[in-house]
Amino acid sequence: MSVSTNDLRNGMALDLPEGLMTVVEFQHVKPGKGGAFVRTRLKNYRTGAVLEKTFRADEKVPLAVIDKREMQFLYREGADYVFMDNESYEQLHVSPEALGEAVRYLKEGDTVVLPMYQGEVLGAELPAAVELRVTATEPGFAGDRVSGARKPATTETGLVVQVPLFVEAGDVIKVDTRTGDYLTRA
């Protein structure tokens, strides 16, 4: 299946020789002389690398149909993460390499969207913030209340987050999944 470069939209997935790419931004350019062209900025689905590429206007490029499935994380089996499709109840084993950074935020029972292309999982789309329980952190001492002071805290997924001094082991905190930063106590 192909699409014309004139019909490109942000978020579209393309199966190019450079790899599976998603369109971050595009610009139609019509110079005074010569033919029109489309300047694009593409992001590799697998590696996250950003690439700038120029196409002729109305050039055909292969469109990739990404199947986005809502799945629930059930448990870990060996190194793999086991997910259940929320519609078909089919179970799927996914390697931590395919999930990338998302493994730092996943806990049993969480629902995530797994983008798939030709049966291969391309990562995980997480909510903007997740709630994680703090399993270990240094105690904050009385009088140790410097404004904005932070200490490291380990969460139930193994993620280490810099938190304010009042956060203690057993607290549930909200963490931004895009940056890995502490947001608030839940």
Q: Distance of CA 17 to CAs 14, 21, 37, 62, Å? A: 10, 10, 19, 10
CATH number of the domain at 54, please: 2.30.30.30
- Domain edge (last residue) among 13, 34, 62: 62
Q: Output the pLDDT for position 86.
A: 86
Q: Which residue range forms the structural domain that includes residue 80?
A: 67-121
Least confident of 21-30, 100-109, 113-122, 134-143: 134-143
Among candidate residues 62, 89, 104, the one where a domain is terminated: 62
Question: pLDDT tens digit string along 59-86?
Answer: 898 888 888 889 999 998 988 989 998 8
Count of structural domains, the chain = 3
CATH number of the domain encompassing residue 157? 2.40.50.140
Q: How far apart are CA 133 and CA 170, in angstroms?
A: 6
**14 and 56 together in one domain:** yes
Residue 33 or residue 47, greater confidence: 33
Query: Quick one: 29 and 56 in the same domain?
Result: yes
User: Which of these three, 15, 33, 62, is where a domain ends?
Assistant: 62
CB 61 within 8 A of CB 5: yes
Model confidence at 141, pLDDT cuts 50, 70, 90, reads low
